[in-house]
Amino acid sequence: MNTEDKQLSSIYKQAKQEIPAEHIDDAILAAAKRETKKFSLPYNPFSNTWRVSASLAAVLILSFGIVTLIEDVEDEFTLDGVTPLIIEETESRQLPANNVEKRRALAKAPSTARAKSSLQQPAAKSLSDTSNAEMTHDLLSFREQDKKRNEQLARKNKQEAQRTKLQTESTDQISLSPALPLSSPSTITTGIDEQAMLPYWQYKDEGMSIRLIQRLPDQTRGYFIARGFSAKHAELIAQSCVFQTVFKNTSNTGEPSAIVYNMENWVVSHNGKSGGMKTREKWAMQWQELNVPAAAKLAFEWGLLPTRQDYQPGDYNWGMAIFDLAPADNFNLKITWQQHNEQHSVIIPKMLCAADIHADPEAP
> pLDDT tens, 64-100?
666 555 555 455 444 444 444 443 443 444 444 455 5
Query: Which of 181-190, 277-286, 343-352 is predicted with the least confidence, judged by mean pLDDT?
Result: 181-190
CB atoms within 10 A of CB 299: 16
> By three-state DSSP, how is residue 196 classified?
coil
Which has the higher per-residue pLDDT, 14 or 260?
260
Residue 204 has pLDDT above 90, yes or no: yes
Number of domains within the chain: 2
pLDDT given for residue 80 in this prediction? 46
Q: Where are the alpha helices (DSSP H) in 39-121?
A: 50-81, 84-89, 100-108, 111-119
- Centroid of chain to Cα 279: 44
Amino acid identity for residue 357 in this structure: I
> Whole domain around residue 208: which residue ranges?
176-352
Length of the chain: 364
Choose the most confident range, by mean pLDDT, from 49-53, 105-109, 270-274.
Answer: 270-274
Residue 292 has pLDDT above 70, yes or no: yes
Say if residue 109 is in the same domain as residue 182.
no
> By three-state DSSP, how is residue 231 classified?
helix
Say if residue 247 is in the same domain as residue 327.
yes
pTM: 0.52
- Closest by CA to 311, choosing from 246, 255, 254, 260, is 260
- Closest by CA to 341, choosing from 260, 266, 247, is 260
Say if residue 196 is in the same domain as residue 92.
no
Q: Dihedral sign, CA of 231, 236, 241, 243? A: negative
Instruction: Tell me if 129 is assigned to some domain.
Output: no
Say if residue 185 is in the same domain as residue 295.
yes
Instruction: Tell me if 158 is assigned to some domain.
Output: no
Query: Which of 140-149, 175-184, 323-332 is predicted with the least confidence, judged by mean pLDDT?
Result: 175-184
Q: Are 323 and 241 in contact (CB under 8 A)?
A: yes
The rounded distance, in Å, linking the Cα atoms of 189 and 204 is 9
Strand spans (E) along 82-207: 186-192, 199-205
Say if residue 271 is in the same domain as residue 345.
yes
DSSP symbol at 191: E
Say if residue 249 is in the same domain as residue 104.
no
Among 78, 98, 120, residue at a domain's last position = 120
Instruction: Tell me if 13 is assigned to some domain.
Output: no
The rounded distance, in Å, linking the Cα atoms of 88 and 97 is 15
